[in-house]
Structure 1
Amino acid sequence: MRIPRRFLPSTNLLMAFEAAARLASFTAAARELDLTQSAVSRQIRMLEDQLGVQLFVRDQQVVRLTVAGESYARDIRDALRRIGAASLNLRANPLGGTLNLAVLPTFGARWLTPRLAGFLKDNKGVVVNVLSRLTRFDFRNDTMDAAIDFHTDEWVGTKSIELMTEVTLPVASPDFVACRNDWTPEVMREMPLLHLTSRPDAWERWFHLNCVPAEGVTGMLFDQFSTMAQAAQSGLGIALLPTFLIEAELSKGDLVPVLPRPLKSDAHYSLTWPVERDAYPPLVAFRGWLSAETRRYRGSEG
C-alpha cells in the first residue's frame, strides 16, 4: 500500500522533533544537531503543519510534549533507530549480506561463537551480528533476522527449526562433592542449591523425578548459566547445568557430577525467524549450516 506523501515527513524534520522531544528543549536540540534554535523551532512547526497535529506546548521559554507528541516521539525514535541500524549494516557489508541474530548469552558464548568461523569461511559475503538477549522479544519491534531461543511454544508470524534439547546434570566443585560420601537426592535436598531465573522449576522437576519432595526448595538465584557455573565452581552450592554448556569444566574437572542423574527438559533450543525473512539469503545459508552443525553435534553426543 502506497503511503500518502503528507504522512512521510523528511528525515530532517523528524530528527529535529526527536532531539527536541528527548531533550525537552529546542535549544539543546539545536546544539546537538548543529543548528540554530530558530531553525529547530521552524522545522518542528513545519512538521506540525504537515501532520495537522500539535506536538509541543510552548509556554514562554519552556516546551513540553503534548499527549500526541509523546506517542509520536516513541514511534519516530524507533523508526530512526531502525533506519540507522539498516544504514550501518549496509555500510558494513555493501552487498547486503548481513544477518542480525539474537542469541541467549551462554549459548552464544559457549556453543555458537566457537563454531561460527566454519560458517563464515564457507559464506564469505555474509556478516553475522550476534546480540545477546536474556528474554524473548518481538520481531515486530527488533531489527533481528532470527533468534536462537529456548522454549516450547511457537511465536505468531514466525517459522522455526528445533536445534537440540537440553539435558541438565547436578554439578558442584570437586571440594564440595568430596565433603561427604553419602550423596543421595535426600541429602542434596538439604544442601545449598543454585537456581536459574529462566528455569525456576528445574530443581523441583529434578527432585520429583527422583521421588523426593520438592516443596519449599530455595537457594541463590542467577540470571545466566555462566555466572551460576562460576558460583558452583567456587563452592557456593549445587547447580543444575546443561551438559553441552559445561563441557570444558567437566573435562578439566572444575565441575563434577554430584549424582549421575540427568534431567531432560521439555523445551528445546530453536532457531526462529519472522515469515517475511524466510527467503533472505544470509538466513537461508545460516539455517542450513546450523541444522547440519547441530545434527553433527547430536551425533557426537550419542
Structure 2
Amino acid sequence: MTWKLPSLSALRTLDVAAKHLSFTKAALELNVTQSAVSRQIRQLEEYLEIMLFQRVKKKLVLTESGENYLREVRVGLTCIENATVDLLAQRNDKGILNIAAPPVFSVKWLIPRLVAFHKSYPDILITLSSRSKEFDFDAQSIDASIYYGCDDWPNVVSEPLLGNDLVPVCAPGYLKGKRRVVTLSDLSKHSLLQQTRRPNSWHDFFADQGIPAANAWAGPQFEHFYMLLQAAIAGLGVALMPRFLILDDLASSRLIEPVEHHFASRDSYRLVYPPSKRNNPKLELFKRWLVNESIHFKKQSAAQ
C-alpha cells in the first residue's frame, strides 16, 4: 500500500513554527504571510487527524503528539539537507570524504595540515566532524574515523598514526605552595586529572614504574582530552596527555612537565575504516597522505 506523504513545504513550516512557537515569526523566516503558515499547519493537522499545536494561556505550544512527530520529522529533514549538500558538492566535481575525529586531534594537529592536503588534492572535499566515542560505520555516514585506542576493533582496517607517548603536565602556577615534585611517587600525591574514557591511564602510568598509587583513580574527571588539556592549563591539577598534542603549550610555557618521564601507552591515534572502503580512491589518497604526515612529524619531533 502506498501512502501519500505530507509535502516537504508543510513539514518545513512545522519545523520553523515549532522553533519560534509563533506563526508570525515563522512567516518572517519563511518569507510568506502569517495566514499561509496557519493554513499549512491546519492542512497538515487535518491530514494527520492530530492536533500538533494548541494555545495555553494565549501562548502557542506543541502538543505531546506534535513534539513526538516533530522529533522524527527533524531527523528526516536533516537527512535530506545533508544528502542535498553532498550531491551539490559532487555536482561541482568535488569528491566528498567524510572523516570523523576527536576535537583535540582535529584542532591541535589535523586542521593545520589540511591546507597542504587541499593543495595536493583540490578535487577531494574533506568533511570533518567531531567524534570521540566508538565508531559505527553502519549507523553513521562517515568514510573513516580517527580514534584513540588499541588496535583491537573487529571488522575494521586500522592504520597507526600518533600519540602513544604520554607525559604528565600541569600549569606552571599549579605547583606553587604545594608539595614539591622530585619523583613519580611525589607526583602520585597531587590532583590527578582523569579522562573518563581512559580510567586506568594513571594506574598504568605508575604501575609501569612499580609505584603504588592509591590516588590513581581520584581527581576531577573529564570526558575528552580537549577538556583535560584546558583543565590542566587552568591549574586544576596534573594531566596525562599525548605529548605531540601539547608541543605548542610546552613551548609557550602554558604547561610544564613537573617530572620528566614518558609513558609508552598501548593506546594511540589510529585511522580506522570498514573493509568495504578499502578500494575507495579518495580514502586511499587521504590515508596515504595522513600516514606520511604522521611519519614526517615523528621524525621532526625526534630531531628536535
TM (normalized to structure 2)? 0.74
Q: How far 1:21 moved relative to its partner? A: 3.2
Q: How far 1:235 moved relative to its partner? A: 6.1
For 2:204, give the aligned amino acid.
Answer: R
Aligned equivalent of 1:204:
203
Aligned equivalent of 1:80:
77
Q: In 2, are the aligned partners of 1:103 and 1:130 still within 8 Å (CA)? A: yes
Q: How far 1:296 moved relative to its partner? A: 4.3
Deviates more, 1:138-147 or 1:160-169: 138-147
1:54 maps to which of 43, 50, 53: 50
Partners of 1:30 and 1:67 lie apart in 2 by 23
Aligned equivalent of 1:119:
117
For 2:271, give the aligned amino acid.
Answer: L
For 1:56, give the aligned amino acid.
Answer: L
Number of equivalent positions: 296
> What is the identity percentage for the equivalent residue pairs of Structure 1 and Structure 2?
34
RMSD (Å) for aligned C-alpha atoms: 4.0
Partners of 1:172 and 1:283 lie apart in 2 by 38
Instruction: Name the CA shift for 1:276/1:14 in 2 (closer, same or farther; >3 Å).
Output: farther
Partners of 1:219 and 1:168 lie apart in 2 by 18
Aligned with 1:213: secondary structure?
Answer: coil
Say whether 1:262 aligns with 2:262.
yes
Instruction: Name the CA shift for 1:18/1:278 in 2 (closer, same or farther; >3 Å).
Output: farther
Partners of 1:63 and 1:114 lie apart in 2 by 47
Partners of 2:180 and 2:53 lie apart in 1 by 73
Say whether 1:285 aligns with 2:285.
yes
Aligned with 1:293: secondary structure?
Answer: helix
Aligned with 1:101: secondary structure?
Answer: strand
Q: In 2, are the aligned partners of 1:146 and 1:273 still within 8 Å (CA)? A: yes
Q: In 1, are the aligned partners of 2:181 and 2:258 still within 8 Å (CA)? A: no
For 1:199, give the aligned amino acid.
Answer: R
Deviates more, 1:52-61 or 1:96-105: 52-61
Q: In 1, are the aligned partners of 2:188 and 2:215 still within 8 Å (CA)? A: no
Aligned equivalent of 1:71:
68
Say whether 1:99 aligns with 2:100.
no
Partners of 2:108 and 2:138 lie apart in 1 by 28
As a proportion of its length, which structure holds more strand? 1
Unaligned runs of 5+ in 1: none
For 2:241, give the aligned amino acid.
Answer: L
Q: How far 1:146 moved relative to its partner? A: 3.4
Q: In 2, are the aligned partners of 1:90 and 1:98 still within 8 Å (CA)? A: no
Partners of 2:232 and 2:279 lie apart in 1 by 43
Q: C-alpha offsets along residues 59-78 of structure 1, whole Å, 9 cap, x if unaligned?
A: 69776545443333112212
Say whether 1:18 aligns with 2:18.
no
Describe how 1:5-44 pairs up with structure 2 within 5 A. 6-7=4-5, 9-44=6-41
Instruction: Name the CA shift for 1:267/1:38 in 2 (closer, same or farther; >3 Å).
Output: same
Partners of 2:247 and 2:208 lie apart in 1 by 24
Deviates more, 1:34-43 or 1:277-286: 277-286
Q: In 1, are the aligned partners of 2:163 and 2:267 still within 8 Å (CA)? A: yes
Instruction: Name the CA shift for 1:286/1:20 in 2 (closer, same or farther; >3 Å).
Output: same
Q: C-alpha offsets along residues 143-191 of structure 1, whole Å, 9 cap, x if unaligned?
A: 54433222346488x66544345221223467859x9887222211223
Q: In 2, are the aligned partners of 1:97 and 1:281 still within 8 Å (CA)? A: no
Instruction: Name the CA shift for 1:181/1:248 in 2 (closer, same or farther; >3 Å).
Output: same
Deviates more, 1:204-213 or 1:131-140: 131-140
Partners of 1:284 and 1:165 lie apart in 2 by 22
Q: In 2, are the aligned partners of 1:168 and 1:243 still within 8 Å (CA)? A: yes
Q: C-alpha offsets along residues 213-233 of structure 1, whole Å, 9 cap, x if unaligned?
A: 333443344555456446656
TM (normalized to structure 1)? 0.74
Aligned with 1:75: secondary structure?
Answer: helix
Q: In 1, are the aligned partners of 2:135 and 2:145 still within 8 Å (CA)? A: no
